[in-house]
Amino acid sequence: MLPDNEREVSVSLTLALLDAMRLAGEAEPEALLGELGIDARLLERPENRISFDQQQALWQQAVQRCGSPEFGLQFARAIQPASFGLVGYMVMNCDTIDACLDVIVEYQFLAGQGGSFVRSECDGYPALEYQAVNRDDAVTAHRVVAMFASIVALGRWLAGDAYVPQQLQLCVVPGDQPATFSEYFHCPVAGGSSANRLVFSPEVLALPIPHASAELLALLTERADRVLATLALEPGVAARVAGLMASQLTQTLPAKQAIASQIGMSERTLQRRLQEEGTSYQRLLDQTRHQLALELLGNREISLATVAGQLGFAEPSAFYRAFRKWQGVTPGDYRQGLEAGRSR
């Protein structure tokens, strides 16, 4: 998996973030760019990219200055299909919402690397999960809402008012006000979830997209593949394995054989491919457990024993030892540090 300092974001999303700040009442958000080391000239071409660290810093300033738990919704109100660059034009030419989600998952890194969308299931219903980078950062909850709200805005733009999710499940609800977000999403919103996911009915995924062009989609897909190859952003086997692990870990401990089958290769081939990418199945499992642990510990309603169980540890003591190795402190001390930071 990419280190955070190597992740990038398309400036088309940066432009949308600046527009959202204006909608929220910030008169001249561009004035922040120089302070954050962002060259304003990069924003003149939407295909340019800035570092994820710079985008995250801009998010932190946006949330702090606008001071509203609903800022993620403002971001969605500022976006349009072009805000997702080439991916936005591709989804406009898919034949159904289901096909749109496939394109978003496969080509999402063209728009940015601040997190990963993964398709999954929830109680037998199709779902879209968002696994954010920097899960323990206070601003991440706002980014998560912004990503899901943008997906819904895009879906409504493509398929109309019939695009209504069944439920939005969030690890953390900004401002702890689910009802505020239910009004925007037109569905129940629940906090304290083990994963951030948008749940759909099969009927919504089957909604057709008017005026879609299969011929244009084929041309755009060819271009997207070339851009991915040029940018070396196409997710490798390690990224695919990590995504599957994260989507399954809180339900069952992912077995190597099962993961290998899901990505269409033998267990031996999977082991070899991961070795070629400089990692291993166990290392990816540890990294995924670590990231999910940070997210779950941010929810005070989930006990430490429950966190251990959801991460696949047979005993809480095994989780405590592993977390101390990863983070340098015990899970309890880490949670206390988070709570102290919130109370300031």
pLDDT at site 150: 96
pLDDT at site 306: 92
Q: What percent of the chain has pLDDT over 90?
A: 47
Overall average pLDDT of the 172-199 stretch: 92
Overall average pLDDT of the 181-185 stretch: 95
Q: What is the pLDDT of residues 54-82, one digit of tens each?
A: 999 999 999 999 888 999 999 999 988 88
Question: At residue 316, does pLDDT exceed 70?
Answer: yes
Sorting pLDDT into bands at 50, 70 and 90, what band is 2? Answer: low
Overall average pLDDT of the 293-315 stretch: 88
Tell me the C-alpha distance between 258 and 319, whole Å: 23
CB atoms within 10 A of CB 15: 16
Domain with CATH 1.10.10.60 in the chain: 237-343
CA dist 212 → 170, 186, 217 (Å):
32, 26, 8
- CATH fold of 237-343 reads Arc Repressor Mutant, subunit A (1.10.10)
Sign of CA dihedral 281, 246, 158, 44: negative
